[in-house]
Amino acid sequence: MPDRIASLYRARLSKEKGTIRKEWGGKLSIALCYPNSYRIGMSSLGFQTIYHLLNRREEVVAERVFLPEGPELSLRLEEGKGLVSLESLSPLQRFDVVAFSLSFENDFPNILRILDLGRIPLLAEERDEAHPLVMAGGVITFLNPEPISPFFDFFLTGEAEPVLDPFLDLLSGLKRSRSPRKEILLRLAEEIPSVYVPSFYSVEYNRDGTIRERIPLESPARERIEVARLNPLCEAPAISAIRTPDTEFAGRILVELGRGCGRSCRFCAAGYVYRPPRGHPLPQILSSLQKAMSEEKKFGLMAPSISDIPGVDEVTGFILDRGGSFSVSSLRADGLTPEMIENLKRSGQKTMTIAPEAGSDRLRKVINKHLSEEQIIEAVGRIASAGQFAVRLYFLIGLPTETREDVNGILDLVKHIKHRLVKESATRGKIGQLRLSINCFIPKSFTPFQWFPMESLDTLKEKQKWLKKSLSREGGIKVNFDVAKWANMQAIFSLGDRRAAHLLRLVHEHQGDWNKARRFSEFNPDFFVYRPKDLKEVLPWDFLDHGIRKEHLIKEYKLALKGEESEPCHPGDCIRCGAC
Ligand code: SF4
């Protein structure tokens, strides 16, 4: 281990509060990997929560591993040494388990880089008893794990809390008794319904390239993998376990207020795979905040739809009354109460983010947004009259059924919003900045839009160009577009099957050169992205069981085509989708 890397790691650890250090002796050792930089990994509340949940077990030692970057990467390449953990500088190969926490498809190439730097064979079939078990958890594993399935020995699908203890009991027992690798996988598949072992299945294809069937190869392999879910949210809310200035949320403790969103936007995977919408009990949130306030006064409140969390005004009031402050990521325009705006103002929040998503009322009905232009303008009016906030707006382009009028509608809506901002701010003489974030729509598994194709790169780029030009004429509006090419890559891995793994391998072999990888790929990845899917088609992720009936998604798909909205969730009073 070169001293220079050790000193870099020591410096990093010295800035942390909450680091857990454990002796290894006889414990199940887990290298918890985040497939991106330290800064990004430590900004993930999910990653931090798993670190805490693993280490609270007496017989487990979990240490963190991140993708090296900058000086660390240069040093590592220069020294030719393998990847090590942050806490004890232990090489990746020394761990019993290498566990990835996966949140984004764009991080997939980094999984292979970490395995490579850690000197672990990339393919599960190339590993033997001398290698750690390579597993993954996180939302990607219950959206569509197939494009990365050849690289993993197994996935633990779903929310960690209800399944982690039985999983660790079994795994640590099997490790203690030195069970062979294959036996461990068989027992995990047999006893933990949310464990998915990809090598226990083969996939057969039709002549047109679609999936004919998945064939279980081993006797405990289930037809359907039951994605784990914690309902109700009975444990204390997830909260940043480690504080460090090197995150996107420096000086701020993240607190999860709830999971799932009951608004049922048809493009949003989180609104489907985290069903039903659940909030942490208010007394538990307040007691966690009370405890955390002895260390930090600033909080980032996390929930897919903050304004839908019961008692959210009590939570924000509680923080403010004790001299603290809070921030939220985005707010629904129709949930923006005067109390919430006032509390955000007292907290010093400078930017208010709302997500109209589409430019016209028609398209917002297609996506089931339940938000009219009038409501959006009203919300902006309330924000502007309360103070000089910057307003950030999220839009998607390339949504199913989108027409030229809908894209023009984005421009018209932005003009109306700007007009309202100017009008409400007249007495102040200064208006808050207007910022737009315009992203390409990517169809996601387990949503009613999973059967739609993605719009072509050329059309998306043409729409971006037109919007950029038209919005620049308005003046004073800052616009940010995502890169259509990367959205396309993300779509390949959102919608692909096992054959997409070959492309990922090529990307790795060609040092991240996607164009070259595509040229060498035997399979055209456009097949996954630009093809409308038949409602009867076997989809790569159909074997994952979230409790949501496919017929419900088909019904929502058909309503979308008719431009009709459906009711939001009413937990306790509804059995429509099957998740309650
Ligand atoms: S059953 Fe009804 S309330 Fe429950 S998640 Fe499904 S749509 Fe929402």
Query: Do you find a cis peptide bond into 180, omega within 30 degrees of 0?
Result: no
On whether the CB atoms of residues 66 and 87 are closer than 8 A, the answer is: no
pLDDT values of the chain reduced to their tens digit, one per residue, 580 residues: 457 888 899 999 999 999 999 999 999 999 999 999 999 999 999 999 999 999 999 999 999 999 998 888 887 777 777 899 999 999 999 999 999 999 999 999 999 999 999 999 999 999 999 999 999 999 999 999 999 999 999 999 999 999 999 999 999 999 999 999 999 999 999 999 999 999 999 999 999 999 999 999 998 999 999 999 999 998 789 999 899 999 999 889 999 999 999 999 999 999 999 999 999 999 999 999 999 999 899 999 999 989 889 899 999 999 999 999 999 987 888 888 889 999 999 999 999 999 999 999 999 999 999 999 999 999 999 999 998 899 999 999 999 999 999 999 999 999 999 999 988 887 877 778 899 999 999 999 999 999 999 999 999 999 999 999 999 998 889 999 999 999 999 999 999 999 999 999 999 999 999 999 999 998 899 999 999 999 999 999 999 999 999 999 999 999 999 999 999 999 989 999 999 9
Paired tokens of 166: 């039985």
Nearest by Cα to 512 from 472, 475, 485, 533: 485
CA distance 367 to 443: 12
Nearest by Cα to 457 from 516, 525, 381, 537: 525
Give residue 418 CA to ligand 1 midpoint distance, Å. Answer: 37
Continuous H helices in 216-359: 270-273, 282-292, 312-321, 338-346
CA distance 117 to 73: 10
Distances (CA, A) of 498 to 74, 199, 211, 523: 33, 11, 10, 11
Classified as helix, coil or strand, 101 is strand
Closest atom of ligand 1 to 572 CA is 3
CA distance 525 to 285: 45
Give residue 493 CA to ligand 1 midpoint distance, Å. Answer: 28
Helices 373-386, 404-424: crossing angle, 10 deg rounding: 30
The DSSP bridge partners found for residue 225 are: 544
Per domain, the residue ranges of the chain are 3-226, 253-495+547-561
Give residue 569 CA to ligand 1 midpoint distance, Å. Answer: 5
Closest atom of ligand 1 to 275 CA is 5
Predicted local confidence at residue 418, as pLDDT: 94
CA distance 351 to 344: 9
Closest atom of ligand 1 to 570 CA is 3
Q: List b or e across 402-416, with b for residues whose CB sees 16 or more CB atoms inside 10 angstroms.
A: beeebbebbbebbee
Q: Which residues line ligand 1 (CB under 6 A)?
A: 262, 275-276, 569-571, 574-577, 579-580
Q: What is the CATH number of domain 253-495+547-561?
A: 3.80.30.20
CA distance 43 to 249: 6
Stated pTM of the model: 0.96
CA distance 389 to 375: 18
> Residue 33 carries which DSSP code?
E
Paired tokens of 262: 């009951």
Closest atom of ligand 1 to 262 CA is 8
Sign of CA dihedral 507, 508, 510, 512: positive
Element spanning 557, H or E: helix 550-561
Predicted local confidence at residue 277, as pLDDT: 95
Tokens 């949504």 belong to which residue?
399
- Best residue among 275, 546, 567, 570 to mutate for probing ligand 1, ranked by most atoms within 8 Å of CB: 275
Give residue 327 CA to ligand 1 midpoint distance, Å. Answer: 29
Nearest by Cα to 541 from 275, 201, 161: 201
Q: How many residues does the chain have?
A: 580
Ligand 1: which residue has its CA nearest to atom 6?
577
Nearest by Cα to 173 from 379, 27, 50, 355: 27
- Which residues, including other chains, have CB under 8 Å from residue 431's CB and lie 6 or more apart? 384, 388, 421, 422, 425, 476
pLDDT tens digits, residue range 79-132? 777 899 999 999 999 999 999 999 999 999 999 999 999 999 999 999 999 999
Ligand 1: which residue has its CA nearest to atom 1?
575
Give residue 564 CA to ligand 1 midpoint distance, Å. Answer: 18
Paired tokens of 307: 């304004």
Predicted local confidence at residue 22, as pLDDT: 96
> Residue 239 carries which DSSP code?
B
Sign of CA dihedral 353, 356, 359, 361: negative
Give residue 579 CA to ligand 1 midpoint distance, Å. Answer: 6
pLDDT tens digits, residue range 36-88? 999 999 999 999 999 999 999 999 999 999 999 888 888 777 777 789 999 99
Distances (CA, A) of 23 to 13, 18, 94, 99, 482: 17, 16, 14, 19, 45
DSSP state string for 378-409: HHHHHHHHH---EEEEEEEES-TT--HHHHHH
Ligand 1: which residue has its CA nearest to atom 4?
580
Instruction: Give residue 484's Cα distance to chain centre.
Output: 19
Predicted local confidence at residue 72, as pLDDT: 83
Q: Are strands 258-259 and 28-34 parallel, antiparallel or unpaired?
A: unpaired
Predicted local confidence at residue 335, as pLDDT: 86
Paired tokens of 278: 């659940």
Give the angle subtended at the CA of 531 by the CAs of 528 and 533, to the nearest 5°.
95
